[in-house]
């Protein structure tokens, strides 16, 4: 590992000296997200391995290249999990890519997002120096929360070497319930349930021939799940079908997700139906996947008018993505802060330039 680290360091220093950008990747499973540039590949997949895992401290520290499947299997053996339920999008997914893209799965609305669980990051900076931010403890306000801002930063501020992530116990029991329901009614129902102390850890709405189907997942102790079920009614989905359902949603293997372009619209959960096109709704209404032929400007202004934003999650073509941009344009003051952060952390622009926005 030491020689790998020296090699990574040398590559960064060389990039800094030559001005030739790097394109950081693990298993390449999230290559589709954003505008992947033509930089020299910096392969993190060999820099792998769990550094420390202390179940009773609820924290695991792993090198960036550690496969997500291995990490999750180890946690499962100890009855624990990554509570934000990250999508893999492929067998080669790594914890580094998981944190760098900051994507969360079905459990996000209930348990929290990727960045809510990141406790610390070891970073290789633009000068090849190793910096440690955060740590292995949740209560830590010494200095700025750089490890949380690195989450979802798509590699633009440096090379993540190691991450420390908070883990939680797996629920003792889970149960999925389904209801025939139209989109508007489903959104209202989810809002009403969210205001009550119910053990709902995932939700989905899809359109069907009869209008639509709402599914929710209950998780917790047997008594919590049973009393939840008694209050919420609905039809129980058999366990194996339920697991397959949430997995296919998380991994986007359902036929719906083959649509191109595929938009991700993030809005306040209790937002009425967007009427932009065919849709799958998650996160109590907070995450909406849209398949539409409407132009990007229309999708973005609709999202913005409702207090949200829209991401061209899977574009029709790279040319189209380049033309309209993948991520929602930033407000000018916020953009100014972004530009200064980028230039402070990556003065030569060697780390994944253009991956998120063309100017970063």
Partner 1 sequence: MNAPLDAAQDALATARRQAEVVSALRQVVPEHCVMYREEEVRPYECDGLSLFRELPMVVVLPETESQVQAILRLCKRLQVPVVARGAGTGLSGGAMPHAGGVLLGMAKFNQIRRLDARTCTAVVQPGVRNLAISEAAAPYNLYYAPDPSSQIACSIGGNVAENSGGVHCLKYGLTVHNVLRVRMVTMDGEIAELGSEALDAPGLDLLAVFIGSEGMLGVVTEVTVKLVPKPALAQVIMASFDHVETAADAVAGIIAAGIIPAGLEMMDQRATAIVEPFVHAGYDLSAAAILLCESDGTPETVAAEIARMTDVFERSGATRIQVSTSEAERLRFWAGRKNAFPAAGRASPDYYCMDGTIPRRQVGRVLLAIQEMEVRYDMRCANVFHAGDGNLHPLILFDANDPDSVRRAEDFGAEILELCVQVGGTVTGEHGVGIEKINQMCVQFTREELDAFHAVKHAFDPAGLLNPNKVIPTLARCAEYGRMHVHAGELRFPELPRF
Residues 35-74 that bind partner 1 (CB under 8 A): 54-58
- Taking the complex as a whole, the smallest distance from the CB of residue 231 to partner 1 amounts, in Å, to 9
Tokens (6 digits) for 157: 């501020």
Interacting residues with partner 1 between 1 and 40 (CB under 8 A):
none
Binding of partner 1 by 301 (CB under 8 A): no
Interacting residues with partner 1 between 183 and 202 (CB under 8 A):
191, 194-198
Q: Which of 72, 85, 136, 174 binds partner 1 (CB under 8 A)?
A: 136
Indicate the SS3 state at residue 153. Answer: coil
Binding of partner 1 by 173 (CB under 8 A): no
Applying CB under 8 A, the site for partner 1 has a residue count of 82
Binding of partner 1 by 305 (CB under 8 A): no
Nearest to 209 by CA among 185, 182, 190: 182
Q: Which of 14, 32, 43, 170 binds partner 1 (CB under 8 A)?
A: 170
Residue 273 to residues 40, 116, 217, 276, 279, Cα–Cα distance (Å) = 43, 28, 22, 8, 9
Binding of partner 1 by 87 (CB under 8 A): no
- Taking the complex as a whole, the smallest distance from the CB of residue 251 to partner 1 amounts, in Å, to 20
CA distance 124 to 122: 7
- For residue 169, is the peptide bond before it cis, meaning its omega torsion is within 30 degrees of 0? no
Binding of partner 1 by 327 (CB under 8 A): yes
Which residue do the tokens 């995450």 mark? 287
- Closer CB to partner 1, residue 109 or residue 350? 109
Indicate the SS3 state at residue 310. Answer: strand
Binding of partner 1 by 217 (CB under 8 A): no
Q: What DSSP string describes 71-86?
A: HHHHHHHTTEE-TT--
- Closer CB to partner 1, residue 27 or residue 328? 328
Of 14-22, 205-213, 266-274, 291-299, which part binds partner 1 (CB under 8 A)? 266-274
- Closer CB to partner 1, residue 27 or residue 62? 62
Binding of partner 1 by 76 (CB under 8 A): no
- Taking the complex as a whole, the smallest distance from the CB of residue 49 to partner 1 amounts, in Å, to 18
Binding of partner 1 by 268 (CB under 8 A): yes
Nearest to 150 by CA among 99, 103, 104: 99
- Closer CB to partner 1, residue 139 or residue 319? 139
The answer to whether 163 touches 58, Cβ cutoff 8 Å, is: no
| Residues, the chain | 360
Would you give the end-to-end CA distance of the chain in angstroms? 31
Kind and range of the H or E run holding 332: helix 332-345
């Amino acid at each position: 590992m030491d020689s790998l680290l020296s090699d990574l360091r040398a590559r960064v220093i060389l990039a800094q000296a030559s001005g030739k950008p790097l394109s950081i990747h693990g298993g390449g499973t999230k290559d589709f997200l954003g505008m992947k540039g033509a930089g020299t590949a910096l392969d993190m997949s060999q820099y792998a391995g769990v550094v420390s895992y202390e179940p009773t401290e609820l924290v695991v520290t792993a090198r960036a290249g550690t496969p997500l499947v291995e990490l999750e299997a180890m946690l499962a053996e100890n009855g624990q999990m990554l509570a934000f339920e990250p999508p893999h999008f492929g067998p080669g997914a790594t914890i580094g890519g998981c944190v760098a893209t900051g994507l969360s799965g079905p459990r996000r609305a209930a348990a929290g997002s990727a960045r809510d669980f990141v406790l610390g990051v070891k970073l290789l900076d633009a000068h090849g120096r190793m910096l440690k931010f955060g740590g292995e403890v949740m209560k830590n306000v010494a200095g700025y929360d750089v490890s949380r801002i690195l989450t979802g930063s798509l590699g633009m501020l440096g090379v993540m070497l190691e991450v420390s992530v908070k883990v939680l116990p797996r629920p003792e029991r889970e149960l999925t319930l389904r209801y025939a329901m139209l989109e508007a009614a489903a959104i209202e129902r989810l809002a009403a349930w969210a205001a009550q102390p119910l053990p709902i850890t995932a939700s989905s709405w899809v359109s069907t021939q009869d209008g639509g189907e709402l599914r929710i997942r209950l998780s917790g102790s047997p008594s919590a799940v049973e009393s939840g079920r008694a209050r919420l009614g609905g039809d129980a989905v058999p366990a194996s079908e339920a697991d397959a359902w949430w997995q296919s949603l998380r991994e986007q293997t359902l036929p719906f997700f083959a649509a191109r372009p595929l938009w991700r619209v993030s809005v306040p959960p209790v937002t009425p139906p967007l009427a932009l096109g065919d849709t799958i709704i998650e996160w109590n209404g907070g995450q909406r996947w849209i398949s539409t032929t409407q132009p990007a400007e229309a999708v973005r202004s609709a999202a913005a008018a409702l207090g949200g934003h829209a991401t061209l999650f899977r574009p029709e073509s790279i040319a189209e993505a380049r033309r309209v941009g993948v991520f929602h344009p930033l407000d000018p003051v916020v953009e100014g802060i972004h530009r200064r952060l980028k230039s402070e952390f990556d003065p030569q622009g060697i780390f994944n330039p253009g991956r998120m926005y063309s100017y970063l």
